[in-house]
């Protein structure tokens, strides 16, 4: 049995989801809001670039904000300390922006 056939049988009744990284709409295949391993590594690369940035005006890619707002405690392995601070700042500012 091929890997593709195995995934097809495992996730036969899974709902569709939109990939945060590439925007494709596809059936869930074990990656929360990501198409596959390629999009996971793409998201990791964006995260690594942001986490290693040094400018105080550098903002994270909107896909990072979307993913980590949706999954503040993701099941995949990520190191995102700087992004956590950014998201906490956004969250703290949200109520005042609505007033």
Tracing tokens 């869930």 back to the chain, one arrives at: 28
Residue 13: predicted pLDDT: 87
Range of the domain at 79: 3-98
Number of neighbours of residue 82 by Cβ within 10 angstroms: 15
Q: Where are the beta strands (DSSP E) in the chain?
A: 16-18, 25-27
In this prediction the pTM is 0.79
Contact indicator for 5, 23 with CB cutoff of 8 Å? no
Residue 24: predicted pLDDT: 97
Comparing CA positions, the residue from 48, 46, 40, 49 lying closest to residue 19 is: 40
User: How many domains, in total, are found in the chain?
Assistant: 1
Residue 91: predicted pLDDT: 87
pLDDT tens-digit map of 46-83: 999 999 998 878 899 999 999 999 999 887 778 889 99
């Amino acid at each position: 049995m091929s890997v593709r056939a195995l995934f097809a049988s495992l996730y036969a009744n899974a709902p569709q989801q939109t990939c945060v990284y590439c925007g494709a709409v596809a059936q869930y295949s074990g990656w929360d809001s990501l198409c596959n391993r390629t999009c996971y590594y793409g998201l990791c690369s964006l995260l690594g670039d942001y986490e290693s940035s040094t400018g105080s005006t550098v903002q994270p890619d909107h896909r990072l904000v979307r993913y980590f707002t949706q999954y503040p405690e993701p099941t995949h392995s990520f190191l995102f300390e700087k992004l956590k601070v950014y998201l906490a700042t956004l969250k703290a500012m949200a109520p005042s922006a609505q007033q």
